[in-house]
Amino acid sequence: MSSSSRDSIMNSFSMNGGDGKNSYANNSSYQRDILSDTQLVVAENITAMLGELGFPEYIKVADLGCSSGPNTYLAMSGIVNTIIDSYHQKGRTDSPEIDCFLNDLPENDFNTTFKLLPSFQEGLKTDLKEREALDPKYRDSFHMWSVLSDSLLDLVSEGLVKESQVDAFNMPFYDPNEVEMKEVLEREGSFEINKIETREFAVHYASSSEDVVDESSDQFKKWQSIANIIRCISESILVPHFGEAIMDRLFHRYAIHVAKHLTVSTRPTKSTVNIIVSLTRK
C-alpha cells in the first residue's frame, strides 16, 4: 500500500471534531467512564515506575490518541496528580517538571482540545472534586455494531440505501480477547507485559417493556445521546461510503433500536469488554 493511501485510511479514523451535537467532544462519556475505571491500575503502575526510576527530575507523559474534547485531560490530570502525590508520599518537597504531549492523527481537531486547557489547569488543583463529579451514572454498553447494521437495513427497507451498498460495507473493527491481545504483544516483542486484565462494563437495563418508542419523550433524548456516541466515532468511515445525506436518519433509527434493545431486553447484564494492559518498553 502506498504511503498516501495509508495516510488517507488512517485519517478516515479521525473522530468528529468541534463541540456540536454530533462531536466526539460531546459524545464520549462512554470512553470517559472507561478512563475513570482504569485510573487505579494506572496509578499503581505510575507509583511502581517512579520507584524504579528513582523519582526523576523530568517526566514526559504522552497521550497517543488524545482525540478532541475533554477526555484527554481526565487522563492527564489523573496521571499528573498521581505523580505529584507519589513525590509527596516519598517525602520529596520538590515536584518534577512534567511535560504533557497530546498526539493524534493530523486530521484531529486539536483546537477544540486546546480550548479546554484552562479547565485542565483547574483540575490539577481540584482533582478530587472533579473525580467525584465525573463518576459514571450509568454505563451503556451493548452490541453497537450489530445495532448499526440493523439501522442500515432499516434504511434499505425505506429505499434510502441499496442492499448492495450495505453488503459492500465493512466496519474496520475487531474486538480482541485477552489471549489474542497477549499474543500480538508477545509477537511484536518490544514490550514486557506487567499486567493485563479484562473488565466488563455492566449494563443497567430499564424495567419497562414498551414496544412502541415515544420519540417525543425526554427518555428518547437519552437514546439519541447513546446513538451519538456511536455517530461521532463512526461517521468519518460511514460518510465516504453512504454519503452525508442519510446520517441523521441512520442515527435516528439507531436511537430507536437502542430504545427497544434497552427496554425490551430481560437479560440481566451483558457488556462490552475492555482490556487494560500495562507495558514496559524492553
Residues that bind ligand SAM (CB under 6 A): 10, 13-15, 28, 31, 35, 64-67, 71-72, 103-105, 108, 233
Cβ-based nearer residue to ligand SAM, 102 or 246:
102
Cβ-based nearer residue to ligand SAM, 53 or 133:
133
Nearest residue to 230 (alpha-carbon basis) of 3, 15, 7:
15
Within a 10 A sphere around the Cβ of 100, how many other Cβ atoms?
Answer: 18
CB of 122 to ligand SAM, least distance (A): 19
Residue nearest to ligand SAM (CB): 65
- State the greatest distance between any 2 C-alpha atoms of the chain, in Å, as a whole number: 69
CB of 74 to ligand SAM, least distance (A): 8
Residues near 102 by Cβ (< 8 Å), separated by ≥ 6? Answer: 62, 63, 66, 72, 110, 113
CB of 247 to ligand SAM, least distance (A): 19
CB of 34 to ligand SAM, least distance (A): 7
Whole-angstrom CA distances from 177 to 25, 155, 272 are 28, 32, 11
CB of 31 to ligand SAM, least distance (A): 4
Instruction: Give the separation between CA 30 and CA 63, rounded to whole angstroms.
Output: 18
Can you say whether residue 69 is alpha, beta or left, with left for phi > 0 and alpha for psi between -120 and 50 degrees? left
Cβ-based nearer residue to ligand SAM, 227 or 259:
227
Cβ-based nearer residue to ligand SAM, 26 or 82:
26
Whole-angstrom CA distances from 213 to 209, 257, 266 are 10, 9, 17
Nearest residue to 271 (alpha-carbon basis) of 142, 138, 139:
142
CB of 236 to ligand SAM, least distance (A): 9
Beta bridge partners, 59, equal 98
